[in-house]
Structure 1
C-alpha cells in the first residue's frame, strides 16, 4: 500500500519503501523532496555535473545526479538502511558501493544545491549525517547568496571549511586539479 508519511513521526526504511513520491529518511524523519527544483537549481546542478564528469572521466570515480538514492547504515546492512538521502550530485570512488538502484554507504564527495525548502536540512541534518558516516568532502551551493561552502573531513569532523564567492574558483580539498569557476555556476542569474 502506497502512502505518505507523517512528517512529525519517526519512521523506518520499510515504511519509506511504501511512500509515494520523492522522500528522504534521516534519523527516522521523513523529508519531502517536492516541489521540483527551480531552473537555476537545475542549471547549477547541470554545470557541476559536467565539471565533475569531465574531471572524473579517466579516474575510478563515478558521478551520479539526483534522483539517486544513497543508503547509510550503522550496521553495514544496506537491505534495511538507517538513512536514505538523494543528494543533488554524488561522486562514488568505490565501484563496490554501487548497486542497480543506489549507493551503499558514503560517497567520497556530495554536492547539495540549496533551495528555500532544503537549506536548513542541508546545513544541519545532512551536514551531520554526511560527517558522521564519512563523506570525505561536502559542497553546499547557495544560489541565493552565490556562494559555495566546501567541507572536508579531518579526523572524523568537517574541520576544513572553505567559502567561495563571486569570481573565485571552487577548489576541491581531496582532488587536486578539480576546480570549478563560480562565474560558470551563476551566469544564468548574471544575464
Structure 2
C-alpha cells in the first residue's frame, strides 16, 4: 500500500470549470469559492451557495450609477473607499483563513473606511455601508439572508433600494449590534449619513430614468 497516492488536500483539489459541477446542497467555504472558474456569479451565505441574478437591467445599472456617483464624489481624497460589484466581501467569523470563511457576497456598492480590511481580493470584514439594489428574483435573499449576515458581521448601514417601487430603505446598526430601521423613503426625499459627512443623496435623481 506504500505506492497508493494520497487523497488530494483541499489546496490540491482541481478547479471547478462549469457551474453544473457545483453541488448546491453542499457546504462551501471561500477556499472552495476560489476554485470556481466559470462566468456565472455565485455567492456563499453561511456555507450555502446562491446564484446571483442574471445580467442587471439597464434601470438597475442606472440606479447604481446614480448612487455610486455622489458617494465617489464626496470620498475623493478621503480615506474611505467605494466599490461596485463584482467585488468580493468576505465576512469572516473566527479566523481569516479561506477554509474558515463561509460567507462571500458581492453587494452592488460597498463603502469601506478601514483600509486594513482591503486586500488584493476585495474586503475581508464588514464594510461601513452596504448597498443592495433589488432585482426580480433576488428580493428574498437580500431581505432575509443578507440582512442576517450583515447584522452579525457589524455592517454599520445597510441600504436596500428598489428601482421598481422607487423606494429606499436603510438599516442602521445600534450600540447593541442590532439593525434599527429608518422610515421608508422615496422620490422627493433625501438621504444623509454620519459615515459620509456632507453627503446628500437626492432620491428623485437616483430614480430618474
Look up the SS of the partner of 2:64 in the other structure: helix
Q: Provide the rounded CA distance (Å) in 2 between the counterparts of 1:93 and 1:42.
A: 24
Whether the 8 Å CA contact 1:71–1:78 is kept in 2: the answer is: no
Look up the SS of the partner of 2:63 in the other structure: helix
Q: 2:144 aligns with which of 124, 128, 131?
A: 124
Q: Provide the rounded CA distance (Å) in 2 between the counterparts of 1:59 and 1:177.
A: 12
Structure 1 pair 52/78, CA: closer, same or farther in 2 (3 Å)?
A: farther
Deviation at 1:175, TM superposition (A): 3.2
Where does the alignment leave 5 or more consecutive residues of structure 2 unmatched? Answer: 1-14
What residue in structure 2 maps to residue 99 of structure 1? 119
What residue in structure 2 maps to residue 187 of structure 1? 208
TM score, norm. by length of structure 2: 0.84
Q: 1:14 aligns with which of 6, 31, 39?
A: 31
What residue in structure 2 maps to residue 36 of structure 1? 55
Whether the 8 Å CA contact 2:91–2:125 is kept in 1: the answer is: yes
Q: Provide the rounded CA distance (Å) in 2 between the counterparts of 1:78 and 1:70.
A: 14
Q: Provide the rounded CA distance (Å) in 1 between the counterparts of 2:198 and 2:95.
A: 32
Deviation at 1:179, TM superposition (A): 1.6
Deviation at 1:78, TM superposition (A): 4.5
**Which has the greater radius of gyration?**
2
Where does the alignment leave 5 or more consecutive residues of structure 1 unmatched? Answer: none
RMSD (CA atoms): 1.5
Residues 124-169 of structure 1 deviation map (CA, whole Å, 9 limit, x = unaligned): 1111110110000110001111000011100201124232112111
Deviation at 1:173, TM superposition (A): 5.0
Q: Provide the rounded CA distance (Å) in 2 between the counterparts of 1:179 and 1:102.
A: 26
Whether the 8 Å CA contact 2:43–2:50 is kept in 1: the answer is: yes
Q: Provide the rounded CA distance (Å) in 1 between the counterparts of 2:130 and 2:65.
A: 14
Structure 1 pair 41/179, CA: closer, same or farther in 2 (3 Å)?
A: same
Q: 2:66 aligns with which of 47, 61, 76?
A: 47
Deviation at 1:12, TM superposition (A): 2.5
Matched, 1:167 2:188: yes
The aligned length equals 188
Matched, 1:140 2:126: no
Whether the 8 Å CA contact 1:72–1:78 is kept in 2: the answer is: no
What residue in structure 2 maps to residue 150 of structure 1? 170
